[in-house]
Structure formats: structure tokens, C-alpha cells
Structure 1
Amino acid sequence: MKIGYARVSTFEQKLESQIEVLKEAGAEEFSQEKFTGTTVERPQFNLVFKKLKDGDTLIVTKLDRLARNTREVLEIVQSLFNRGIKVHILNIGLIDNTPTGQLIFTIFSAFAQFERDLIVTRTQEGKNFAKLHDPSF
């Protein structure tokens, strides 16, 4: 079975576009929730994680929908691989439990974490600059 998981980070964001893309990718069932990526508790994801079984495929639109950081995503994916579950990250591709699949996935995960860290750093630098140059900030 192909099960899709959609997540947005704020209540203002919409899930519809992710769900549509998951449908187009062949997801037969969906789970969705609105939680920030920094939140450890993701009840719907936990339900999907437990429901998946050998031969199933978990589909997400992007890597950052799956986990908060490289370490966590590697743990999740390895756990799924150990249970015979494939992971299809739509903007990366189908990741399987082969040496090549694991290498590619590890590299992509590291780059995704790097990109997220750069965004956080730039945001913080911008805030600090604004505070120094605008006392009312």
C-alpha cells in the first residue's frame, strides 16, 4: 500500500496542494497534520508510522515534511527500511534499502539540514542587524 503523509508548519498554511501531489503520486491513503517541524509530537505521523508494514511505501512531498533534522530523518528512514518499507520523497525520488539508495539519501539529508541551518542563520543575522539599526525593533 502507498500511504501519503502531508504536514504544514502553521495553521494558516494549507494542506490541499500537498494532498493533491500525493494523490498524483499514487497514494491510496493520506494522513495530514499541522505541526511545526520543531515539534517532537506528531500524532498523525506516529499513527502512519505504526500502520506501515512490509512492502508498503511512505510518500511525502519533500524531505522536510518527514523530519526535523538529518539525524532524525536517518533514524526514521532506517527504521522503515528495517521493516521492509520504501520511502518515496517526491522531490528526490524513491529511496530503497540498497547501499546506493542509503548513500544518496544520506547525502541529500545532509544537504537539506545544511540548507535549513543557513536559513536559520540568515534570519537571525537579519534580526540582529535590524535591532542594531532600528531601536524601535
Structure 2
Amino acid sequence: MKYGYGRVSSKGQKLYGTSYQEQKDILLEHGVPEENIYTDTYTGKKMSREGFDKVLSLLASGDELIVCKLDRLARTAAEGSLLVKQLVDMGVKVNILNMGVADNTPIGRLMVTVLFAFAEYERDMIVERTSAGKVYKREHEPSYREGRKPISIDKVHFQKIAQKQKDGSMTVRDCCRELSISRSTWYNLVRKEARV
């Protein structure tokens, strides 16, 4: 059975041949029945998506999943290559139309290997660019400090909130909301205050 999956980052996206309609037309041209085409509109970092989860739940050995591009399937090459390998190991043929077919044939396994190599290259490039950026910053900005900027919280305000938490009139969650900080930051501040 053929299944198709399409994704857009935002409703109305029409750039680079990735609109809903363009993806749907391409999937139909490649023999995917319209009822077997699943789509999502999603942004952000989550991998879990309604249409994506549905098509994954339907796939079985012998099926074929067709997507227009790898980036419609996953956000990164690493994420995509791992997913493709899992599907191929299940006996599912994965047809990435702008790259090729990954399946349990010698050429299909080569395709998976190429995806993993590309994923490793992508990770290396990110590390290299990040390192080069840090070196540049250290050389050109004397005040540069690696890591997140320290959170600046008014000490008197913090002490008032901390006292309310001790008295039981505020929960830790309420305190974190009031100060716009995470729970770990809250506990770090409490520990620092206890040492003073």
C-alpha cells in the first residue's frame, strides 16, 4: 500500500514547492491514493504531529511511504536518517522524491548510509560554525562570555517572594511565574540566598 506525507511550516506556505497543494499533486502523480495522503501544518521543535503519527501507525512491512523532500519528513538530516532507517528495518520502502528510494535492497541500504553520512556532515558543520563563531566573539568582543546571560533579578523583590513561599502563601510554581524564571533557577537562587 502506498502512503504519502506532506508538511508545511505555516498555512499558505508556497515557497520552494512545499505548499499543501503542490505536495499533494506530486504524491497523487506518484500513485498515492488521496485517502492515504496525510498532512500537517507545524512549526517548532516537536517531532510528534497528528498526521505524521497517523501515517506512522498505519505503515506495515511491504508498504511504501512517499514524501517530496526529506525536510518534509523531519527537521534535520540526523532525525530524518534515523526515522528512515527505522522504517526500512520494519520492511517499509521510503521514497524521498528529491533523493531516492530507501529499502532493504543493496541500493536502498546505500541510500540509508548516504543519509547517515549527510547527517554526520550536517552535525560537523554546525559544530564547526559554532566553534568559529565563539572564537570570533572572543577575539573581537572583550566582554564576550560563553553560555547564557546571567539572569538579573532584583534581590529585594526576590527576598519578598521567597518569604511568601516560606510562609506558604505562594507555591514555587507561583514564585517562578512571578519572577519569570525556571524552577532550577529558583532553587539556585534559594541556595545562594541561604549561603549569604
TM-score (norm: length of structure 1): 0.74
User: CA distance change for structure 1 residues 37 and 22 in 2, over 3 Å: closer, same or farther?
Assistant: farther
Unaligned runs of 5+ in 2: 14-18, 134-196
**AA matched with 1:105:** V
Helix, strand or coil: the match of 1:26? coil
Asked which structure has the greater RCO (Cα within 8 Å, sep 6+), the reply is 1
Q: Which has the higher strand share?
A: 1
Q: Map Cα deviations across residues 82-135 of structure 1 (whole Å, 9 max, x no partner).
A: 221100111112211234423333324554773xx78xx7xxx9xxxxxxxxxx
Helix, strand or coil: the match of 1:7? strand
1:21 — aligned with what? 26
Structure 2 distance, partners of 1:68, 1:10, is 14
2:180 — aligned with what? none
2:38 — aligned with what? 31
Aligned counterparts, 1:120-135, within 5 A: none
Aligned counterparts, 1:113-124, within 5 A: 114=122
Equivalent residues of 1:3, 1:59 under 8 A apart: yes
Q: CA deviation at 1:59?
A: 0.3
Equivalent residues of 2:85, 2:112 under 8 A apart: no
Structure 2 distance, partners of 1:5, 1:24, is 13
Q: Which has the higher helix share?
A: 2
Helix, strand or coil: the match of 1:58? strand
Structure 1 distance, partners of 2:26, 2:63, is 18
Helix, strand or coil: the match of 1:76? helix
TM-score (norm: length of structure 2): 0.53
Match of 1:88 among 82, 95, 107: 95
Unaligned runs of 5+ in 1: 126-137
Equivalent residues of 1:4, 1:27 under 8 A apart: yes
Q: How many residues align?
A: 119
Structure 2 distance, partners of 1:59, 1:103, is 18
User: CA distance change for structure 1 residues 109 and 63 in 2, over 3 Å: closer, same or farther?
Assistant: farther
1:59 — aligned with what? 66
Helix, strand or coil: the match of 1:55? coil
Structure 1 distance, partners of 2:24, 2:46, is 21
Structure 2 distance, partners of 1:85, 1:23, is 19
